[in-house]
Amino acid sequence: MISPSLFGRVACPVCLEPEGCTSCRGSGHDDCVSRYAPRVACRCGGPDKVRLKEAGDVLLCACCGARYAVHRTDGYVQLVPAQSLGEGTHYADHEFHERLGVTEAPPLLSAGIKFEWMRRLLNVFPGEAVLDLGSGAGKFALACSAAGLKATGVDVAPFFLPGATKTVDLVVGDLRRLPFRKDSFPAAYSLDVLEHLDEAGVREVLVEARRVLGDSGRLLVYTHAMESSRIASFQRGVNRLAKRLGRAGLIDHEREAMRKSDHRNPIRSHEHFDALCSEAGLRVVERRYYNVVAKAVVEDLGLRLYEQLRARGKRKPTPPHDHDHDHDHGHEPAKTVGGPMPGAGTLAIGRVLTWLLKLDMVFFGRVRTGPFFGLIRPVPRAVAPPASTEPA
């Protein structure tokens, strides 16, 4: 969806306005390119990003001259920087998305836990605007809009669930160059995203989030530090068993392995993450850990065994491996993704199992381990920005 309010929020991802304090003011587009990082992270709050001019199905940047496409029928605005920022991700690949098997069902199981704790810690209220950083196909954003929030999703890949293209404002963009003006959103979240970036990428995303949230916004992340607790050794045991069963063809271990295949795991410890936040003018004000015991047994093992047995019962072959999809390429390019909606019975079972999985947070939410929910708030600027725009 592209709502009128989205046009008020978007900006050129790479261009900064010339106004600023003595250290961040610029003159012309050369300063957008060569001094982007110090200017955007300036202690005064930095210059705002350049507004775009709507001209039919394009948005024009008067600073760099870029033309960004407005895909009205597909329901999203394309605001990826023209110049590449470095390595890409598997998530930009359409087939990868299809194989993840996303559906429009509400987030259940561990996704349900993430959705619930995001809403609980972020404390969002109906009608509030919320930004999904790294929205993927739009499953969480879709659930937000079903819950009465005004959701906007931003992701590098233009593959969205059909429902998301109807109810969520969608932007294709790079999290390291968020194409939004300052103070555009009171709340944002990023679930299972930061682990896909390198350390420099995480730094950039945090600076951009700080800018877009302003001085009073709040940010919720779910990601992991390279730490573990004693409880996590139980999960590792279950994972080893799952792998063995996967090799024996008893469960489909491939999908989980695929999802983790481009993890860069940039966060070494919780202290390291605190430091990264602090550099960006942010502070972690609350942390909850996700030690999985119920999830390991129910979702990683039980459910996949069940899926595989059911698939065998139906004599449905498992999807062919890689490159066998070439015959599909004659069809019109698919823009949306998503499998069929599960039946009512499956959804009911999913809800019961999700309830079971809540026990992990109830019992172990305070036990320090790698995976965590962090509620993050901006640190108020210590110094008032020097009034540089007025003549001396």
Query: Footprint of Zn ion on residues 270-289 (CB under 5 A)?
Result: none
Could you give the C-alpha distances from 32 to 48, 60, 215, 325, in angstroms and in order? 11, 16, 23, 42
Pick 171 or 251: Cβ nearer Zn ion:
171
Pick 66 or 151: Cβ nearer Zn ion:
66
Query: Footprint of Zn ion on residues 290-349 (CB under 5 A)?
Result: none
- What minimum distance in Å lies between the beta carbon of 166 and Zn ion? 30
Task: Check residue 20 for interaction with Zn ion (CB under 5 A).
Answer: yes
Backbone phi, psi, residue 190, to 5°: -145, 105
Collect all residues with Cβ–Cβ distance below 8 Å to 280 and sequence separation of at least 6: 41, 203, 206, 207, 209, 210
Task: Check residue 122 for interaction with Zn ion (CB under 5 A).
Answer: no
Measured between alpha carbons, how far is 271 from 277 in angstroms, rounded to an integer?
10
Query: Closest Cα to residue 301, out of 340, 258, 353?
Result: 353
Measured between alpha carbons, how far is 253 from 247 in angstroms, rounded to an integer?
8
From candidates 2, 11, 52, 63, binder to Zn ion by CB under 5 A? 63
Pick 64 or 92: Cβ nearer Zn ion:
64
Task: Check residue 12 for interaction with Zn ion (CB under 5 A).
Answer: yes
Query: Closest Cα to residue 225, out of 279, 284, 137?
Result: 284
Pick 46 or 134: Cβ nearer Zn ion:
46
- What minimum distance in Å lies between the beta carbon of 8 and Zn ion? 17
- What minimum distance in Å lies between the beta carbon of 153 and Zn ion? 22
Could you give the C-alpha distances from 229 to 223, 284, 387, in angstroms and in order? 15, 20, 50
Residues in contact with Zn ion, counted by CB under 5 A, come to a total of 13
Question: What is the CA angle 190-195-201, rounded to 5?
Answer: 85
Query: Closest Cα to residue 129, out of 202, 70, 217?
Result: 217
- What minimum distance in Å lies between the beta carbon of 24 and Zn ion? 3
Task: Check residue 92 for interaction with Zn ion (CB under 5 A).
Answer: no
Measured between alpha carbons, how far is 387 from 307 in angstroms, rounded to an integer?
63
- What minimum distance in Å lies between the beta carbon of 76 and Zn ion? 19
Task: Check residue 106 for interaction with Zn ion (CB under 5 A).
Answer: no
Query: Footprint of Zn ion on residues 24-43 (CB under 5 A)?
Result: 24, 29, 32, 42
CA 120 to chain CA centroid, nearest Å:
18
Task: Check residue 61 for interaction with Zn ion (CB under 5 A).
Answer: yes
Task: Check residue 44 for interaction with Zn ion (CB under 5 A).
Answer: yes
Task: Check residue 207 for interaction with Zn ion (CB under 5 A).
Answer: no
State the residues that interact with Zn ion by CB under 5 A.
12, 15, 20-21, 24, 29, 32, 42, 44, 61, 63-64, 66
